[in-house]
Amino acid sequence: MPQQVQTRAAVFLDRDGTIIEEVNYLRDSAEVRIIPAAIEGLLILQEHFPLVIITNQAGIARGYLDENQLDQIHGHLRALLAQSGISLAGIYYCPHHPQAGYPPYRRNCRCRKPKQGMLLAAAADLALDLSVSYTIGDKLSDIAAGKSAGTHTILVRTGYGKGHEHQISREGIFPDYISDDLLDAAAWIMESQGRLTKRR
């Protein structure tokens, strides 16, 4: 009898404007503020999925911060989330920019969203099935990366989301769902999988 293949879905999350408030080139842990409703949404999602952050961090290429400072920010974010019982399966970031800064950070890489490199790396590292996974973000570049990787996609209206929502038809990048925030996104995912949760 053939062995059944196990699939493991995940939720890929943009960082700025999706989980935490948008700050122009965040470079200080003290500026980290979690968006209201994000905690509740993440708590729902982590009951069923590994949570993976995928974030463009071109501030490194531009010289606004270095990778050690970014690690400190992410350590602080993990600690804040842990206070609410939330654990991340991974954080993947792209420090590159195709025009700004100097090598090795100034280059046309495969990881910077809207390319799917970070999702592919996470899928390989964590044994994830992209075809049953979800990507959530506040920019159409998040949606494009998720679609390129074969995931379902959700645009949140937090961060830059409301502005990007108006660009959907012009850009031709269509998310599977548009949500007010991470809690609304979590509720939609649960409903799409036949799991009931309270919607606002």
- Give 12-25 pLDDT, tens digit per residue: 999 999 999 999 99
Check residue 102 and report its DSSP letter: -
For residue 88, the one-letter residue type is: L
User: Taking all residues of the chain, what is their mean pLDDT, rounded to a whole number?
Assistant: 94
Question: Is 71 contained in some domain?
Answer: yes
- pLDDT reported for residue 197: 56
Q: Is 90 part of any domain?
A: yes
Tokens for 38? Answer: 């994000």
Query: What is d(CA 56, CA 185) in angstroms, rounded to the nearest whole number?
Result: 21
pTM passes above 0.75: yes
Angstrom distances, CA of residue 163 to CA of 3, 38, 57, 77, 159: 47, 20, 21, 26, 9
Domain that residue 104 falls in: 11-192
Give me the number of domains the chain comprises: 1
Residue 83 lies in a domain: yes
Asked whether residue 127 is domain-assigned, the answer is: yes
Give the CATH number for residue 43.
3.40.50.1000
Q: What is the pLDDT of residues 29-73, one digit of tens each?
A: 999 999 989 999 999 999 999 999 999 999 999 999 999 999 999
| Domain assignment present for 1 | no
| Token pair 């501030």 in the structure block, residue | 59
Structural domain includes residue 198: no
197 in a structural domain: no
Residue 79 has pLDDT above 50, yes or no: yes
Higher pLDDT, 196 or 130: 130
Q: Is 6 inside any structural domain?
A: no
